[in-house]
Chain A
Amino acid sequence: MTAPVKLLYFAWLREKAGVGEEDVQPPTTVATVAQLIDWLEAQGGGRAEAFADRKVVRVAVNQEYVSLNHPVTAGDEVAFFPPVTGG
C-alpha cells in the first residue's frame, strides 16, 4: 500500500487500544479487514486486547458497515467499535 490507512477506534475499543486515531502502513499482504486486525494485533500496545473478542467488534470502512472479509485498500478510513448503544 502507498497511501496510509486511517484507523479510528471508539468507546471501549479506544480505551483498550490506547489510541483513538492513527495512520498505519500495513504490508501489501494485508488485503482484508480480518488481515488488518491480525496485523494490528501483532503491532503491540493494547490492540491485541481490544480485538480479543472479534464477535463484538463492529467495523466500518469509509463510514459504511462491512464484514471482516471486506477489502481494505490504501487511503481507506477504517473504524472499529463495539455494538452501538444510542437512542
Chain B
Amino acid sequence: MIRVQTEDFDLGAELKALTAGNHGIGGLCSFVGLVRDMAGGEAIGAMTLEHYPGMTEKELARIEAEAQARWPLDATLIIHRYGRLEPGDQIVLVAAASAHREAAFEACHFLIDFLKTKAPFWKLEGTPGGGQWVDARDSDDAATARWTQAPGKAAE
C-alpha cells in the first residue's frame, strides 16, 4: 500500500491495520524517518518537501512491487509525507510483513534504500542563511547498489 500525504501518521495504528486478520504473518519490520535539527553543522528550522505528483506514486508502487517479487511478503506499506515539516516530525514510514523475520528485515531495508534514490522527492532545508536544497548523497546510491550487486540474500 502506498500513501503520499501532508498529514502525520500513527505508527502503531498503521502497523496494526497492516497485519490485521493475517495470522500467517510472523514478522513485521518497520522503519520511520524523522527530520533532524542539524545538517552539515547548521541548525535547521524547518524543511519543505516537494514531490512530483503522479510519478511519486508510480515510482513507490514500482519499488513496492520489486520488494514483493524478491521476498515472500504478506504485506507492505509505504507512507511518505510532503510539505512543511519541523525537526522531530515523522517523514516516512516503510514496513514489510512476512512469515519469517529475514524477509521482513531485508525487504524493509530494501524499501527505504530504493525509496531514497528513486522516489521523486526533494528537501529544501530552512537554515539561518536561507533555504538550501539538500544534495543527494553518494552513500545513498551505494546503499541502493548493494541490492543489485548481491540479490537473493534472503535465500542464503
Contacts and interface: CB of A to CB of B under 8 A. Distances in A.
A87 interface: yes
Nearest to A63: B55
B111 to A, nearest CB: 10
Contacts, number: 70
Contacts of B9: none
Contacts of B80: 86-87
B108 interface: no
Interface string A1-27: 000000010111000000000000000
A66 B135 CA distance: 21
A86 B137 CA distance: 11
Q: What interface size band does chain A fall in?
A: 10 to 19
Interface of B: 33, 49-52, 54-55, 58-59, 80, 91-92, 112, 115-124, 133-136
29 contacts: A10-B50, A10-B120, A11-B50, A60-B52, A60-B55, A63-B55, A63-B58, A63-B59, A64-B55, A64-B58, A65-B118, A81-B120, A84-B116, A84-B117, A84-B118, A84-B119, A84-B121, A84-B122, A84-B136, A85-B133, A85-B134, A86-B49, A86-B116, A86-B120, A86-B121, A86-B123, A87-B80, A87-B115, A87-B121
